[in-house]
Structure 1
Amino acid sequence: MRLGGRKAATPALSLPIGTPRLVLRDFTTRDLDEVHAYASLEEVTRHLIWGPNTLTQSRETVRGFLDDQKQKPRVNFDLAIVLRDGKKPRLIGGVGLKFADWERRTGDLGYALHPDYWGQGYAAEAAQALMEAGFRELGLQRIYATCDQRNKASARVMERLGMRREGALRRSRFIQGEWRDEYLYAILADEFFA
């Protein structure tokens, strides 16, 4: 990986990442059933480019997460969102940050949660923690995210995170068999820490 004509340090995150209610950690093969529990639901995937997953597709997704963990340098950080509540931690979704453009130090953020955990602030809490790690540990200067314009809940999460709507993209993504309009949100490192 090169930065400004010279070799850059290999990006890495210190995992797991803890928050008051959550742990963000790498996925493992043991997570398949819990990943499939949310990835197979139409209500989770209706605004996404993937899903609803078959069990085979969820297995391939987890395998992809594991393959990404082995990459040197690692550019995709897809992490399990694990709820600390109770005696047995539960995987309730995933949050991801990937290098969209290393030269410009830009990351692409995404998240998905099981609907049993919607509306409780978990997506924002997980995304906030991963964004902070992206800015502090990966040296990103800008993180962006997009959402289908009909996905009002995701737009609210991004706004709660302090992200600014930078644009409305017309028919920019092929989602669930049709071209959809998206919103583009972003935040800069100095804005995040202000």
Structure 2
Amino acid sequence: MPTHCNMNATIETDRLTLRKIIPSDAEGMFLLDSNPNVHEFLGNHPVISIEESRKYIANIRNQYLENGIGRYAVILKETNTFIGWCGIKFITEPENGHVNFYEIGYRFIENYWGQGFGYESAKAWLDYGFTTMDIKTMYASANIENVGSRRILEKLGMQQKNEFDWKGIACLWYELNANNQG
């Protein structure tokens, strides 16, 4: 059974506001997910219509209701701009021999890559998950070729456990126990 967070929670970092994804984020989500470079390590299936982005947002908002948690919009404080998403998802489908687990994940608009936003937002979510939600172990996966994403996970202190196949994509599996976070 998932540990629910305060779904009205907003998390702030020095540069970012992390808040629930809302329907008006559709244009930003489309900009994010229509870029083939963003989907290079996700199976190469970028969206082709804003309607797909609206459905994705509806799915995320449904996860808030069903699981008490889900991905959040990442807003750049300086400009109040949607730059991507980050957050904890409760995974109910089997993945790498696990089911019913918490996963940290993130995805950013390409113009915002390489500026530390992935680490900053994921670190804030890890802290929230371990302290506020009392999650014992956080998991993550990354395409084995996605050096940028792997670097973020390793900087967060996540330990690589094994390699696995996710829908034909070679991925690395990471774990971090609440007792081992730095």
TM over 0.5: yes
Cα offset, 1:189, TM superposition: 0.5
Distance 1:67 1:100, change over 3 A: closer
Cα offset, 1:90, TM superposition: 0.5
- In structure 1, list runs of 5 or more residues that go unmatched: 2-7
- In structure 2, list runs of 5 or more residues that go unmatched: 93-98
Runs of 4+ with >4 A deviation: none
Contact 1:39 1:53 in 2 (8 A): yes
Which has the higher Rg, Structure 1 or Structure 2? 1
SS at match of 1:116: helix
The normalised TM-score by structure 2 is 0.88
SS at match of 2:148: helix
Instruction: Specify the alignment match of 2:179 in structure 1.
Output: 190
Q: Does 1:35 align with 2:24?
A: no
Q: Which AA in structure 2 matches 1:130?
A: W
Q: How do 1:122-137 residues align onto structure 2 when only pairs under 5 Å count?
A: 122-137=117-132
Instruction: Specify the alignment match of 1:5 in structure 2.
Output: none
Cα offset, 1:50, TM superposition: 7.2
Q: 2:166 aligns with which of 173, 178, 190?
A: 173
Larger % of strand: which? 1
SS at match of 1:45: coil
Contact 1:105 1:142 in 2 (8 A): no
Instruction: Specify the alignment match of 1:15 in structure 2.
Output: 9
Q: Distance in 1 between matches of 2:59 and 2:107?
A: 16
Counting matched residue pairs gives 174
Cα offset, 1:190, TM superposition: 1.3
1:134-188 CA distance string (max 9 Å, x none)? 111111111111111111111111011111111122xx112xxxx1211111111
Cα offset, 1:94, TM superposition: 0.4
Cα offset, 1:96, TM superposition: 2.6
Q: How do 1:49-88 residues align onto structure 2 when only pairs under 5 Å count?
A: 49=43, 51-54=45-48, 55-71=50-66, 73-74=67-68, 76-85=69-78, 88=79
SS at match of 1:20: coil
